[in-house]
Structure 1
Amino acid sequence: MAVCLEVALISGKRAKVEAEPSWLLERVRNQARCTLGCGSGVLLGPSGDFLAKTASVADAGLRTGDVLTLHIGEVRVAATQRAFAALLADGSVATWGDPNGGGESGHVQARLQRVREIQANDESFAAILQDGSVVTWGCADGGDSEAVQERLRDVAAIQAAGFAFAALLKDGSVVTWGDPVNGGDCSAVQRELVNVQKIHATKYAFAALLEGGPVVTWGSPIFGGDSTPVQMQLGSNVKGVMAAGFAFAALLDDGSVAAWGVPDTGGDTSSVQDELENVRQIQATDGAFAALLEDGAVVTWGSPEHGGDSSSVQHQLQAVILEQLRQAIQANEGAFAALCSNGAVVTWGVPAYGGDSAAVQEQLMQAQQLQCTESAFAAVLRDGRVVTWGQPGAGGDSSAVQKQLENVQCIQASYTAFAALRADGTVVTWGDPACGGDSRGVREQLTKVKHIAGNQGAFAAIRLDGSIVTWGEVDSGGDSSAVRDQLA
């Protein structure tokens, strides 16, 4: 005899489903979705508990008249350099791409339920579950947390370095795993890691900001794991920490700055120390830092190729909007671009990589977003148009799709290609075809898109219904056909 159920959304909208006792709850959910016209989600029982989609109506003890809730979660995608992991609406996870880079999670798949958040380093993933425990997979440098698994309880947040992870527990302590030399082993400073507020990471080291201002560092001494040279300054007056690729910079209470790590990539402020007064905010590229002063001036230091030398455009850098976080300053492997408050864009560094934007400077007015590949830049203007410059094959030449680049909301990048999301939910791509610059094979599916994620060689687009479309280099996750059923 059929069981008559009601499935309700949080909004109050309801759908009736007549289900046989043998039906799996996944079938009940999908039928309700079709009737309600909504995306994927997870079913909650009459008492509010999660119902496994693989259980039957009979197994769940459901009866006629029961009211179930369809909880619609937000689909999110995390990426290593060559793989993707999608956190689905029901709290499960689907992975694809290079198996050695986190694209294969079969051995932990049964544990990947009720996932709250996913973090990624270069080659592995770490998932925080709703109960505060952690599941890891991918390369051994971060993908294997067995040695610390018993301590990974009540995890509040996870920070990733290149080949290691650091978990901040709710009690303010820290647990690390991965490459021991590059941040996976914090035993030397374990006793100091109490009342930790936030953890930051360079490529090979971590820095923990403690309650009251002290900073504790570990990992590769060369790349920021050793803060001994500035430890006196980092006593108890640190307002915040910023990490570049190979160095840290701390903003102190008095408006000055202390930096450590590789000197040539921002770890040495001696050349600009007299200028670093009344600093309001610090931003970082892979190899340099930029400080916004209270009077609107900008001071830069570190690798010239990554923006550490802005002397040639200093007069233009009086109104850079550092408050816009990563969108205000972008740097690729050889050049730097800064977004100013009047919408203009200032560039410097290797000319061929976008450090010289003279050819498009007249078009670069009223810009509102910057994005970069390894050797090119793209700017979204306030009217939704797009301007590109830099290496043509890496996205610096968008002439082939320029007519389509209208009403653009945002842009994402792979290593050598761009993907633009338009206001109508469609996607336009250009640049290196092998890295996602050619999306013709999935064009019909690229509609009603709300978000795009990219890694080194591929893209993943999340649609309004929660489904995911991928394209680009197969080994980097451009082909998700093996998990298509999970991503539907």
Structure 2
Amino acid sequence: MASKTVVIAWGSGEDGQLGIGNSEEKEWVCAISALSSSNVCSVVAGSRNSLAICDDGKLFTWGWNQRGTLGHPQETKNENVPSQVKALANVKIIQAAIGGWHCLAVDEQGRAYAWGGNEYGQCGEEPEQKEDMGKPVRRDIIIPQRCVPRLSVRQVAAGGTHSVVLTREGHVWTWGQPWPPGDIKQISTPVRVQGLDSVRLIAVGAFHNLALLDDGTLMAWGNNEYGQLGTGDTQPRSQPIPVQGLSDLTL
């Protein structure tokens, strides 16, 4: 008999991100009863919203929904009980990520999806016709839509206002606004990150990125204001560089 999973939550609940039916702050762990009948295999916590993936591929979301981050039209500002993302009910989701105010997911067939805030093109919306190139992107994507349809995706990662995917070939693609607002660029069309091959795993912060290669090398690029790239300085990097000081470690 398979063991039963219990999803527990604690901390700030002002946006309903704990999923316990209210917006209270919890200093002790508590079970999310709405997920008690679902066999959850992974959870993702954002700053204001949360999601859970079940072993059958169902995706549940809860918390803040003003930008479409829950994957369905807004009924209330916040939703404090998990609900299934109906738009993805017919696919088996295997992994997902939460960014600043957008979300990404990938199914078992390698198809990626995006929804939520899109003012920087972070959901990857592409104009349908060339004459629409000057048309502003939609600010919010309320219903999950396919992104990077030409790629077979293994993993998705979401930053503050940009998105990154790892393909099954070991390549990394990115789009959106990779730098803090100020040097604003809307790049809704995904581009491949040059200099990265045989990537095993990706991770993304608000405005910086990491890629672990098959040989154990850790590469970093992006904003470096606080030294988050591990380069010994605070200079940003637009291209991936090896993180120094890890040569004696097995990653």
Q: 1:379 Cα shift?
A: 0.9
Match of 2:78 in 1: none
Q: How does 1:37-186 map to 2 (within 5 A)?
A: none
Larger Rg: 1
Match of 1:299 in 2: 60
Is residue 378 of structure 1 aligned with residue 164 of structure 2?
yes
Q: How does 1:79-478 map to 2 (within 5 A)?
A: 239-243=5-9, 246=12, 261-269=13-21, 278-281=37-40, 283-286=43-46, 287-292=48-53, 296-304=57-65, 309-311=70-72, 314-317=86-89, 318-321=91-94, 328-352=95-119, 356-359=123-126, 361-363=147-149, 365-393=151-179, 402-426=193-217, 428-434=219-225, 435-436=228-229, 437-438=236-237, 446=242, 462-463=246-247, 465-466=248-249
Q: 1:293-350: CA deviations, max 9, x gaps?
A: 57643332211268752126732343111xxxxxx22112211111212111111111
Q: 1:460 Cα shift?
A: 6.2
CA distance in 1, matches of 2:10, 2:223: 27
Q: TM-score, normalised by structure 2?
A: 0.58
Q: 1:304 to 1:402 in 2, by over 3 A?
A: same
Higher relative contact order structure (alpha carbons within 8 Å, sequence separation ≥ 6): 2
Aligned residues: percent identity?
Answer: 22
Q: 1:361 to 1:406 in 2, by over 3 A?
A: same
Q: Which amino acid aligns with 1:316?
A: L
- Does structure 1 retain, via aligned residues, the 8 Å contact 2:153–2:168? yes
Match of 2:81 in 1: none
Secondary structure of the 2:194 match is helix
Q: 1:392 to 1:263 in 2, by over 3 A?
A: closer
Q: 1:278 to 1:420 in 2, by over 3 A?
A: same
CA distance in 2, matches of 1:400, 1:263: 34
CA distance in 1, matches of 2:59, 2:203: 27
- Does structure 2 retain, via aligned residues, the 8 Å contact 1:420–1:428? yes
Match of 2:77 in 1: none
CA distance in 2, matches of 1:333, 1:309: 13
Q: TM-score, normalised by structure 1?
A: 0.33
- Does structure 2 retain, via aligned residues, the 8 Å contact 1:417–1:432? yes
Match of 2:76 in 1: none
Match of 1:31 in 2: none
CA distance in 1, matches of 2:194, 2:116: 29
Q: 1:214-244: CA deviations, max 9, x gaps?
A: xxxxxxxxxxxxxxxxxxxxxxxx9523337
Q: 1:428 to 1:329 in 2, by over 3 A?
A: same
- Does structure 2 retain, via aligned residues, the 8 Å contact 1:337–1:347? yes
Where structure 2 has 5 or more consecutive residues not aligned to the other structure, the ranges are: 23-31, 74-84, 127-145, 230-235
- Does structure 1 retain, via aligned residues, the 8 Å contact 2:120–2:176? yes
RMSD after superposition? 4.1
Bigger fraction of residues in helix = 1
Q: 1:289 to 1:306 in 2, by over 3 A?
A: farther
Q: 1:351 Cα shift?
A: 0.6
Q: 1:380 to 1:295 in 2, by over 3 A?
A: closer
